[in-house]
Structure 1
Amino acid sequence: MIILPEQVTQAIGVLEKAGYDAYIVGDCVRELLLGNNPQDYDIVTNAGINDILFAFREYRISDEGMKRGEVLVTVVGMIIQVSPYRREVVGNRVMYAEDLETDLFRRGFTMNAMAYSPRTGLVDPFGGRASLRPDPAEVAAEEREEEQEGLIPDSAAEINHRTGVVRLPARVIAIGEMQSRTVKENGKSTTESWYDMSRCFTSDPSRILEAMRYCAEDEYVIEEKTLDAIRANVSCFEYAEKDKLFSELSRIVMGKYAARVLEQYADILKSLLPEIEPCIGFDQHSIHHDFTVWTHICKSVGYSVPELSVRFAMLFHDLGKPDCCAIDAKGHGHYKGHGERGRLLAERIMRRLEFPHALSEEISWLVYYHDKEIPEERPGLKRLLDSLGAEDLRRLIQCEIADARAKKTDTETPDVQRLRAASTALKEILETGECYNIRQLAITPRELIERRLVNSDQEAEQLMNALFEIVLDKPSFNNKLMLLDMAEKSKQRLDEIMAERERAAAEKRAARALNHRRGEPVYTRKKK
């Protein structure tokens, strides 16, 4: 049973009261059938744009998507998209439709081509509800395997619990259309018919990534015929809208099951990102790696924190390895300069897919420095923090943790533990406010000059640097009184050293003068 929020029911009621049909469609219907709570609701109706505006004249309306045939209506704090039936939407160009089924057909996948209204119930012309359940043939096959292995449940309740969506994932199935052609064979004409799914992907190539995205974000699998249609139409990426490709690829790498999807559908992804093809199946010839380059990349994406820049950096970080591979006499692989090569490849991809400029710079920096040595000692970590900044260093450490975890079958190697310790130390430094920048010292060069502890700006800078080195090792010393006391002692000690040096220099000059008086005169003969 589908229960709609009060605001959605009210919006549908407004249109029906005005004499029009109204249905919720798309993702929200799918999520409601799965028992989830969708955040966005879309309503379609047989009313025109002007009719929609008139029906909701007493509500707050936004015309932001008007060029695409979309009206945003605010109903009791909820923004709902209301649209006429549409046949096709390309950019800001819209072709309207006469009936609901045409509108549902354009939505690409059966699980998105469902509509619902409280008055008429569920409208499912393409079998979307069935695709949300596992394939019955796969369920039957799995049950037979369990029977053969003796894993038969004891009770009917357990059987019911272990069947259906709980057992196997839902399927992503493309909407197709029947095609036919006349073929002459042995002088006779026969008509061949088949179900063609190609239009789903040729009309909007980003749906190829959309199908992968469902698998990455949730436990879906792409149905075999749909997968064949995708593989047959990967060349359509060439004329796809770049912003859609970037959006779908971003959601794939941010997905819960990103690692599995990237590895499973690498043959599809390489048509969009040809730079990954040399990495697929590339043996690293290294005792430090148990996996091929592409498998390592996929695992590192899955192990990384869910931040877009970090996930993309992991996707790109080792793309330069095949180009930089050198095998030594012992058969070990070395990849000097692969960070720089990976950065160049990543920048080429990001330009092609029109990544946002700020995100591109961040990813490029992380790819270049992804193998930078992170100091184990706290003072060294503070110096690196001062050099890079808190956010950049935090992301870099997270990248290196994901990279280290993806190298071996054992994901908790000593390197991983060392990097985790560095991450914890960084967090403590920032939370406790430990001094990691010379400007954070409790005194300033001006105070040293005013207290006559130094005689010039140069001496003040030298003394500040010396105090900063002490505070890096002992954070508790960053106290104004203690620093002034150390500066005073340093001044006294410096004066003693300078006096001792002056005394030694005077004695040396006196000894040189005495030796000069006692020495024999030196004459030089003129050459004849």
Structure 2
Amino acid sequence: MDFLIPEEIKKICTSLQSAGFEACLVGGCLRDLLLQKEPHDWDITTSALPKQTEEVLSKEFYCRETGIQHGTITVFADNISAEVTTYRIDGNYSDHRRPDTVLFTRNLTEDLKRRDFTINAMAWDGTLTDPFGGQKDLSSKIIRCVGNPNDRFQEDGLRILRALRFASTLDFFIEPKTAQSIHQNRWLLKSIAMERICSELLRLICGEGAARILDEYQDVFFVFLPELLPETKCPQNNPYHIYDVWHHTLKALENVPPTPDRRLATLLHDIGKPSCHTTDKNGIDHFHGHGKAGVSLSQAILHRLRCPKKFSDLIVSAVHYHDILYTDDEHLIRRRLQKLGEPLFFLILDLKRGDTAGQNPLYFSRLEELNRIETHAQKIIAEGNCFSLKQLAVNGNDLLNAGVSPGPQMGKILRFLLEAVISGQCANTKSELIQYYQTNFSEDDLL
């Protein structure tokens, strides 16, 4: 095997080896190299004790004791860094998250034995050390715990979500005993910090296999997202739909770009439907007001997950307005851009495409119109066409010079002029806007 490894990482390993210690690439970076992907992080495991690691490497590199109690030194070399950790055996995990104690060892296999999954329990120092069949599982696209799955998950409950995240992002399958243990131990997630759960969830839902994993492991996700459970029992008996709310949501999620904002907004977009579900005398289901109903539910979830406020506000707004009318009409597109702002406008546009792809195929022609709307919106933006007050060719000072008295009426007049520009009744030039105001604005418009 010939891996493309940065020279700085090679040098860290050879420096330790030249000092008489073992040093191997391990974990995720090796997994990615075997998959012919570029690693995002570099992990090295070594037989050197932490102080020995620091003594050897600090001669050539900047070292920082980032996890010295667990044997980890972070080593910085030019524009790259690596976590170098001593071979270790973990003690008990009383909090189901971190070992209470660690025992350093000279045995590489003992170190690999403590790791979560076989695909992460391999090491490379020019030859592959693979005592648990990780390379075979990697080739077979299998997620399998090292040793007894119950032990691994009892040690660290977050491994449950890590298993599902790997299965999603790598589009792998989870071997039966590991899968059974995930279901059995799902309640361990209640003891995990929500920030960690959120981090894993956002990466998971951006994976190629996200919809499949969300569906196969509903019970796991409902431990910390119980608001989604009613979707699984909510039919959609109307001409637009062929799936219940839950499976419609998953189908929509598969068809939006794999970014955290798009995927999470889509996962939550119909969360208000079960509470708004009505059936008319003809047996047709309706969900009037479900966007508004979804606001409080989404806010509760995003607060629980400790999402940043700006990100949360964007997601909640997308849930609220995802059913807002979008048509291929330039004036309406400008109004939507003005009301929503560019980030939310395009998020909802992507969400609408996913939403449509999760409906009855008879309505897939709507996708063509949504694509035209995006083209026109991008053209409006590129040409600098006016759809917001900051783009308006007049401001408060211009109105003062035109004889308008200071006060709250200023804002109303500016919004009146913006509407005139958006609707095509007036060109966006200072002279024409002032003239339009003098000719068409009346005191009644202030009421």
Are positions 1:373 and 2:344 aligned together? Answer: no
Give the length in aligned residue pairs.
Answer: 433
Q: TM-score, normalised to structure 2's length?
A: 0.87
The 5 A counterparts of 1:398-417 are 398-409=350-361, 412-414=364-366, 416-417=367-368
C-alpha contact 1:288 1:408 (8 A) present in aligned 2: yes
Alignment partner, residue 110 of structure 1: 118
Alignment partner, residue 83 of structure 1: 85
- Cα distance in 2, alignment partners of residues 409 and 251 from structure 1: 29
Quickly say closer, same or farther: Cα 1:463–1:107, change in 2 above 3 A: closer
Residue 122 of structure 1 deviates from its aligned partner by 1.3
SS in 2 for 1:210: helix
Are positions 1:342 and 2:342 aligned together? Answer: no
Q: TM-score, normalised to structure 1's length?
A: 0.74
| Residue 303 (structure 1) aligned to one of 249, 255, 271 | 255
SS in 1 for 2:139: coil
Residue 249 of structure 1 deviates from its aligned partner by 0.9
Quickly say closer, same or farther: Cα 1:43–1:470, change in 2 above 3 A: same
Are positions 1:421 and 2:381 aligned together? Answer: no
C-alpha contact 1:454 1:460 (8 A) present in aligned 2: no
Residue 296 of structure 1 deviates from its aligned partner by 0.7
Alignment partner, residue 140 of structure 1: none
C-alpha contact 1:69 1:94 (8 A) present in aligned 2: no
C-alpha contact 2:76 2:82 (8 A) present in aligned 1: yes
Higher RCO, Cα 8 Å, sep 6+: 2
Residue 238 of structure 1 deviates from its aligned partner by 1.9
- Cα distance in 1, alignment partners of residues 314 and 392 from structure 2: 30
Select between 10-19 and 270-279 the one with higher mean Cα deviation: 270-279
| Residue 174 (structure 2) aligned to one of 188, 206, 222 | 222
Residue 303 of structure 1 deviates from its aligned partner by 1.2
Residue 324 of structure 1 deviates from its aligned partner by 2.1
- Cα distance in 1, alignment partners of residues 412 and 130 from structure 2: 78
- Cα distance in 2, alignment partners of residues 95 and 410 from structure 1: 60
- Cα distance in 2, alignment partners of residues 109 and 260 from structure 1: 20
Are positions 1:353 and 2:305 aligned together? Answer: yes
Quickly say closer, same or farther: Cα 1:386–1:33, change in 2 above 3 A: closer
SS in 1 for 2:297: helix
| Residue 263 (structure 1) aligned to one of 192, 215, 238 | 215
- The percent identity for this pair of structures is 30
Residue 198 of structure 1 deviates from its aligned partner by 0.8
Alignment partner, residue 27 of structure 2: 26
Alignment partner, residue 17 of structure 1: 18
Residue 434 of structure 1 deviates from its aligned partner by 0.6
Quickly say closer, same or farther: Cα 1:15–1:331, change in 2 above 3 A: same
Deviations 1:263-318 (A, max 9, x none): 23324333343332222253211111111111111111111223312211111122
Residue 455 of structure 1 deviates from its aligned partner by 6.7
- Cα distance in 2, alignment partners of residues 441 and 236 from structure 1: 55
Deviations 1:331-354 (A, max 9, x none): 011122322333333333333333
C-alpha contact 2:47 2:87 (8 A) present in aligned 1: yes
Amino acid at match of 1:35: Q
Quickly say closer, same or farther: Cα 1:83–1:481, change in 2 above 3 A: same
| Residue 363 (structure 1) aligned to one of 315, 323, 326 | 315
Amino acid at match of 1:479: T
- Cα distance in 2, alignment partners of residues 276 and 436 from structure 1: 36
Quickly say closer, same or farther: Cα 1:483–1:311, change in 2 above 3 A: same
Residue 16 of structure 1 deviates from its aligned partner by 1.4
C-alpha contact 2:70 2:102 (8 A) present in aligned 1: no
Residue 393 of structure 1 deviates from its aligned partner by 2.2
Deviations 1:31-59 (A, max 9, x none): 22223332322111121211111111221
Structure 1 residues not aligned, in runs of 5+: 135-169, 177-195, 495-528
Quickly say closer, same or farther: Cα 1:237–1:456, change in 2 above 3 A: closer
Quickly say closer, same or farther: Cα 1:68–1:437, change in 2 above 3 A: same
Quickly say closer, same or farther: Cα 1:418–1:172, change in 2 above 3 A: same
Select between 59-68 and 307-316 the one with higher mean Cα deviation: 59-68
Amino acid at match of 2:77: V
- Cα distance in 2, alignment partners of residues 29 and 370 from structure 1: 42
C-alpha contact 2:270 2:294 (8 A) present in aligned 1: yes
Greater radius of gyration (CA): 1
Structure 2 residues not aligned, in runs of 5+: 443-447
Deviations 1:466-497 (A, max 9, x none): 65444324499323455566678x49x99xxx
Quickly say closer, same or farther: Cα 1:117–1:245, change in 2 above 3 A: same
